[in-house]
Structure 1
Amino acid sequence: MNTWLFIGKKLLEGIPLVLGVTLVSFMLMVHFGPDLTYSLLSKNASPEAINEIRSVLGYDQPFWQRYLHYLSELLRFDFGLSMVKDQPVSTMLQEAMPVSLLLMLPGFVLGNLLALVLASKAAQHRGQWQDKTIMAVAVMGMSISFLIVIIGFQLIFSSSYGLNWFPVRGWQVFDAEGHFSWLAYAKYVTVPTLAIVFVSLGYNTRFYRAVLVEELNKDHVTTARAFGHGPGAIQYKYMLKNALVPITTRVLFSIPLVVISGSLLIESYFGIPGIGMVTYDAIVAGDQPVLKAIVGLTAVLFVAVLTGAEILYRWFDPRIALK
């Protein structure tokens, strides 16, 4: 099948997912959610003012008409104005997304790479002290709350009780002339990156080790070992290459969760103006336009991840394309 036709097919298959997620979220947030009319008015508002606000909020329209309007906003990437900040939601997201990517990318990449190296080492020495030590550290990382890890690293590296090397809060990554400063960026991103790597290492290492150990017991690895291939060739040529499909699945499906869930906790704690902070402020203030935009775009991101995963599967294992 032609690659572009395949991509188009997968995107079409993802439409029901987007419709389902957006429909459920729209019903919960808007249809069954709180009536925001009186939160935007004074106590003694006139009937005319009440009707005007309800018209602006769309409460005078049928449910399906409001939902279709929401879908059209999603297609146009135009979600109206924020109810709290009185600025376009699309502008807020465009300004926040680069911050979240710069914040989460180093920890995401390092967490996966280090976990893959440790998992390879553990699988290579399965049952020995190296394997047991790596797994013990992984379990410890999984058992500690992400919030506790963030607070712990902040106390160690960013407070007067510890080393006090890095800033506690904020995101001042531009110099006095308005140019991006890599030095300032390194200072602000180090502690969040350490926290992300510490937590993700536990989950990722255990998963990658399980995948590699499963490959270790397969016939092609036994055959390669019988033909005299060394441990390095078996590890990277026969085990890792064949394990790329489940590894790719975990990495890609972590992207939406990392961008939204992980950044929400880190950004709200450190006061970093990314997508997570925007989401947190919207939840606290009940800013429905922002919440609807984030939920809808997250669903679209999942569809894009599904499509990208299917393409990579065919690249890593051509046999998939023949099924």
Structure 2
Amino acid sequence: MNTLRLVLRKLAGGIPLVLGVTLISFVLMVYYGPDLTYTLLSKNPTAEEIASVRAQLGYDRPFWWRYIDYLRELVTLDFGHSFSSGERVTSLLARTLPVSLALLAPGFVLGNLLGIAFGLLAAWHRGGWIDKLIMGFSVVGMSISFLVVIVAFQALFGVVLGWFPVRGWNVHDLPSYLYYVTVPTLASVFVALGYNTRFFRAVLVEELGRDHVRTARAFGAGPLSVMMKNVLMNAMIPIVTRVLFSIPLVVVSGSLLIESYFGIPGIGKATFEAITSGDQPVLKAVVGLTALLFVVILIAADVLYTWLDPRVSLDRAEAA
């Protein structure tokens, strides 16, 4: 019952976030976005033809009515048809989202797991040469642009070595999946690892200075036991927070860049094409659903906090 009350309260608290994001995106992308009227018309159109197309696109309706229609589409998940392809937006999302999730999941999981592992190693040897070596590699990884990494990995693994393809997504079984996902995964892990390692190390070093850690070490607990039970478990709240709130950024910005350069037909490539062509139904769907995803993550984070740390009660999470 307490969990359900927390979920309902967070859903209600997320409504202003959704309204704010959708209103700003509507103003920027729809109301002040590209006018597609003359794109759909032939040369030298008549006034009647122009008025007919504008009515078809909804441009002749008042601003607030158009925004209310957008909210209705978001609630019903019915965003109409794509201006570019004529495909239903829900069908487009159902076709492209699984591709993006399959593409991004390995790099996201490996990037965080390796970041935690290197963060633990660096934190335990803080100030030593292992710590300095790991932090040095992290700084190097953070200083290189994601685009540069993508191009370099494409050239190395696809052109020089010829081990993996650098474009396309012809996936029909596990071997073909591994064949196409390897290079994008390596690129995303290389870029994310530096940021993740530095953050996780900072959190873990702070936890190492707690009294309960010094007590465990004084009673003869081994390094592995101390780092896993006394340090990592007590640092899970900031770690989980970072992991959860990076999901929307990875899904939107990460997929957009990776899929555009690797030619993979996921939601990122569809969003990029919608931006370049002014495909407003697709853009409205992506932005609105991303705002909803943030609300879901807020709820999931609060519920996970109470499971990871008994000191965080549902009542305190609800009050927050």
TM category, shorter? over 0.9
Superposition map of 1:97-246 within 5 A: 97-159=97-159, 162-174=160-172, 181-246=173-238
Q: In 2, Cα distance between the equivalents of 1:298 and 1:40?
A: 29
Give, in whole Å, the separation in 1 of the partners of 2:168 and 2:210. 50
Greater shift after overlay, 220-229 or 300-309? 220-229
Instruction: State how many pairs are aligned.
Output: 315
35-44 or 254-263: bigger deviation: 35-44
Q: Structure 1 residue 122: deviation in Å?
A: 0.4
**TM-score normalised according to structure 1 size:** 0.95
Q: Which residue of 2 aligns with 1:11?
A: 11
Q: Following TM superposition, by how much is the alpha carbon of 1:4 offset from its aligned partner in structure 2, in angstroms?
A: 1.1
Q: State the AA in 2 paired with 1:205.
A: T
Report if the CA contact (8 A) 2:96-2:265 is conserved.
yes
Q: CA deviation at 1:61?
A: 1.2
Q: Partner residue of 1:178?
A: none
Tell me which residue corresponds to 2:241.
249
Partner Cα distance (2:149, 2:35) in 1: 38
In 1, the alpha carbon distance for the partners of 2:38 and 2:75 equals 30
- Matched with 1:50 is 50
Deviations 1:86-125 (A, max 9, x none): 1111111110000000000001001110111110000011
Mapped to 2, the partners of 1:320 and 1:36 lie a distance apart of 52
Partner of 1:66: 66
Secondary structure at 2:26's aligned position in 1?
helix
Q: Distance in 1 between matches of 2:276 and 2:8?
A: 38
Q: Which amino acid aligns with 2:290?
A: T
CA distance in 1, matches of 2:51, 2:78: 24
**1:11 CA drift (Å):** 1.1
Gaps of 5+ in 1: 175-180
Q: Partner amino acid for 2:38? A: Y
- The 2-side partners of 1:217 and 1:167 are apart by 47
Question: Is residue 256–residue 267 contact of structure 2 (8 Å, CA) maintained in 1?
Answer: yes
Which one-letter code corresponds to 1:51 in the other structure? A
Q: How far apart are 1:318 and its partner, in Å?
A: 2.1
TM-score under structure 2 length normalisation: 0.96
Q: Residues of 1 paired with 2:141 and 2:35: CA distance?
A: 43
3-state SS of paired residue (1:39): coil
2:283 equivalent to 1:285: no
Name the structure 2 match of 1:90.
Answer: 90
Superposed displacement of residue 33, structure 1: 2.0
Residue 222 of structure 1 and its aligned partner are, at CA, apart by 1.6
* Partners of 2:9 and 2:184 in 1: CA distance: 39
Counterparts of 1:60 and 1:281 in 2: how far apart (Å)?
A: 26
Which residue does the alignment assign to 2:254? 262
Preserved contact between residue 33 and residue 278 of structure 2 (Cα < 8 Å): no
The percent identity for this pair of structures is 63
Q: Which residue of 2 aligns with 1:177?
A: none
- Equivalent position SS for 1:83: coil
**Aligned amino acid, residue 188 of structure 1:** Y
The Cα of 1:203 is off from its aligned counterpart by 0.3
The one-letter amino acid paired with 1:64 is: W
Distance 2:55 2:37 in 1: 10
Q: CA RMSD in A?
A: 1.0
The range that moved more, 47-56 or 141-150, is 47-56
| 2: CA distance, partners of 1:226 / 1:206 | 28
